[in-house]
Amino acid sequence: MIRRTFLSLAVCLIAGTSLLAQEGDKKLIVCSTTQIADFARQVVGDRCEVQCVLAPGQDPHLYRTTANDARLVAKADLCLQNGWHLEGNEWMETLAKDAGKPLVTCIDGVQPIMLEVEGGEVPVKDPHAWFSPKNAGVYVKNILNAVVQIEPDHKAEFTARAELYLEQLRTLHLWSSRQISNVPPEQRILVTSHDAFNYFCQAYGFESAAPEGWSTGAELGAGVTASSRRETVESIRKHGVKAIFVETSVNKKMIREIASEAGVVVGGELYSDSMGEAGSAGETYVGMMRENVLTIVGSLR
């Protein structure tokens, strides 16, 4: 009896050691933003370890890297970034280059927004492309291609996960369209803390509005002129906008002042450059998009 118990314990210890070895053998994927980290986890499951430089609520435009970030990237098998200058001063590119690590830009292949100018149209590489679920699908496909390169033996597994997630993104887009149909077209004016929702507005028939020069780098008002602020207030009044919105990763002071001056309510917080904390409704991409749609529709319809 004692010997049998000892043998069972020995088997358990050996199995545990084997599992730990397998854990240590996982490829490490380091992502710049929370959205990209979520997309990566949807594709690789538990097959790879996915870590993110940014924590929920942090702003990629203003982020300053640390020694811990450099150490994390130095251990990576693959690095993923958004691109199109979302990562201010190209900080993810610098980390990967300094560590000699492969870097994939997930926004590659997205169709830029076309801006009408005198004489035609010009492309605008707005980096917030994930606000269209269709564009999110481009990110997922780029990530799939990248992880297959570092783990080719698991291509079928990664592809199957990606196919399921792409179906979920298509469902998300259809659901969002149905929800937004409850907002009359003339009330689809989305005023937010900074100009991050252009792809969302393009996908769902909204007009995007933020003061000219208003970016996360100007979160305390520097760069936002008095005239552009006044124009925004007048435009809100003119169009009868019911509510305007703050963003979870951007200073909220300015938008609240604008709301007060325009005589409208703040309709709620929207997830923008970052997803929500673990355990929150917006901790995943699908969750953040769902909550944003519900917040917008609930305030504008």
CB 245 within 8 A of CB 270: yes
Q: Supply the pTM of this predicted model.
A: 0.87
In this prediction, residue 257 has a pLDDT band, given cuts at 50, 70 and 90, of confident
Per residue in 147-175, pLDDT tens?
999 999 999 999 999 999 999 999 999 99
Distance CA 236, CA 249 (A): 23
261 closest CA partner among 299, 228, 234, 300? 234
Same-domain status, 133 and 191: no
Domain span including residue 267: 181-300
Mean pLDDT, the chain, rounded, equals 88
Same-domain status, 39 and 132: yes
107 closest CA partner among 78, 129, 131? 129
- Cβ-Cβ contacts under 8 Å for 81 (sequence gap 6 or more): 31, 32, 33, 36, 87, 92, 93, 96, 103, 104, 105, 106
Distance CA 138, CA 198 (A): 17
Same-domain status, 230 and 277: yes
In a domain, 136, yes or no: yes
Give the model's pLDDT for residue 10.
Answer: 44
Lowest mean pLDDT, pick from 6-15, 69-78, 83-92, 226-235: 6-15
CB 139 within 8 A of CB 41: no
Lowest mean pLDDT, pick from 19-23, 75-79, 99-103: 19-23
- Cβ-Cβ contacts under 8 Å for 194 (sequence gap 6 or more): 210, 214, 215, 216, 219, 247, 250, 272
Domain closes at, from 138, 172, 206: 172
Residue where the block lists tokens 């079928």: 156
Helix ranges (H only) for 45-90 are 67-74
Give the model's pLDDT for residue 253.
Answer: 80
Helix ranges (H only) for 194-252 are 198-204, 226-238
Could you tell me the CATH number of the domain that includes residue 238? 3.40.50.1980
Distance CA 206, CA 299 (A): 14
In a domain, 294, yes or no: yes
Number of structural domains in the chain: 2
Compare 8 and 76 and report the one with higher pLDDT.
Answer: 76
Q: What is the mean pLDDT of residues 2-26?
A: 49
Same-domain status, 163 and 20: yes
Give the model's pLDDT for residue 159.
Answer: 98
Q: What is the mean pLDDT of residues 178-206?
A: 92
Residue 220, pLDDT above cutoff 70 = no
Per residue in 33-82, pLDDT tens?
999 999 999 999 999 999 999 999 999 999 999 999 999 999 999 999 99
Same-domain status, 146 and 273: no
